[in-house]
Amino acid sequence: MAFELTDANFKEKVLDNEGVVVVDFWAAWCGPCLMIAPVIEELSKEYEGKALIGKLDVDTNPETPLKYGIRGIPTLLIFRGGEVVDKHVGVISKAALVEKVEAQLEQLAS
């Protein structure tokens, strides 16, 4: 299961993380968010121990989306070493998201 991120744990789990973190900004009422939810869940299992794949509900955690200027959901932010290194707004295929995550893992390793 994808890690549940909140305004309270965002700094510790994302900003203080030296590795790669994918944050899915979503809401329960958002159709496209529900479409990519299975992809996020699959990746959370496949990348366990290699990257943190998390979801942040924008309705119950308003501070973090505001800080990052999230205006449309789903928005995926990819962090490496606590910095935003990639962003995608809207639905994304699993293959395209894997490519983005792998690119960041390679950067981390070099």
The conformation of residue 11, written as its DSSP 8-state character, comes to I
Is 65 considered catalytic here? no
Q: How are strands ordered across the β-sheet holding 3-5?
A: 3-5, 51-57, 20-26, 75-80, 83-89
**Residue 110: which pLDDT band, with cuts at 50, 70 and 90?**
confident
Smallest CA-to-CA distance from 100 within 30, 92, 41 is with 92
Q: Which candidate in 14, 20, 22, 33 is catalytic?
A: 33
The pLDDT of 49-60, averaged and rounded, is 97
Q: Is the pLDDT of residue 71 over 90?
A: yes
**Structural domain count, the chain:** 1
> Does residue 68 sit in helix, strand or coil?
coil
**Domain coverage including residue 65:** 3-109
Q: Which candidate in 6, 17, 27, 30 is catalytic?
A: 30
**Residue 1: which pLDDT band, with cuts at 50, 70 and 90?**
confident
Is 33 considered catalytic here? yes
Q: Supply the pTM of this predicted model.
A: 0.96
